[in-house]
């Protein structure tokens, strides 16, 4: 089974293109905030070119970089599932072209294209599983270091 959301472009090329057509192309200068932590999420994003960094402020003025996303990466998907606040900040690292897809339009598209939606959600769940496995490994490493200190 595929390992990332951009694999949908291979699994469902027409569906992927139709999903991207729901959005609007934006070009961002370096260091432009796409969305901020604790802000409402109304869009899903696809990186077309450039780099996006995902950041979390751990203390006032101290940011931890959680990820750097390259062309083809999908982010902001949490907005699909609940009307909640963003859990991190997304910012352009270099000049970026991205596609901004309104969540309402994407939800409608997914509900009318079940085969595409199934693979879309399956890949999202796979990504979440990998993140949780990485976090578990990091916590075990931290625990070992603390008990051996």
pLDDT band at 5 (very low <50, low <70, confident <90, very high): low
Scored b (16 or more CB within 10 A) or e, 34-57 reads: bbebeeebebbbbbbebbbbbbee
Angle between helix 114-148 and 13-21 (nearest 10): 90
Sheet strand arrangement including 33-35: 33-35, 89-92, 52-59, 62-69
Q: Mean per-residue pLDDT for 48-57? A: 94
pLDDT-wise least confident of 3-12, 17-26, 36-45 = 3-12
Structure confidence by residue, pLDDT tens digits, 115-137: 889 888 888 887 777 778 877 88
The whole-chain average pLDDT of the chain stands at: 87
Say how many CA atoms lie within 13 Å of 104 toward its Cβ.
1
Domains, the chain, ordered by start: 5-148 (2.60.120.10)
- Give this prediction's pTM: 0.81
pLDDT band at 142 (very low <50, low <70, confident <90, very high): confident
The pLDDT score that the predictor gives to residue 21 is 95
140's enclosing H/E stretch is helix 114-148
Sheet strand arrangement including 24-28: 24-28, 96-102, 43-49, 74-75
The pLDDT score that the predictor gives to residue 132 is 80
Q: Mean per-residue pLDDT for 81-87? A: 81
């Amino acid at each position: 089974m595929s390992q990332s959301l951009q694999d949908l472009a291979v699994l469902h090329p027409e569906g992927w293109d139709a999903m991207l057509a729901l959005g609007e192309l934006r070009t961002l200068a370096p260091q432009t905030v796409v969305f901020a932590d604790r802000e409402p999420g109304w869009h899903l994003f696809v990186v077309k070119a450039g780099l996006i960094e995902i950041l979390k402020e751990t203390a006032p003025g101290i940011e931890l970089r959680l990820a750097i996303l390259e062309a083809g990466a999908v982010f902001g998907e949490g907005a699909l599932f609940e009307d909640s606040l963003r859990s991190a900040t997304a910012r352009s690292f270099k000049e970026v072209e991205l596609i901004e897809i309104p969540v309402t339009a994407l939800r409608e598209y997914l509900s009318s294209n079940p085969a595409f939606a199934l693979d879309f959600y399956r890949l999202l769940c796979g990504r979440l599983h990998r993140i949780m496995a990485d976090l578990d490994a990091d916590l075990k490493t931290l625990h070992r270091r603390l008990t051996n200190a």
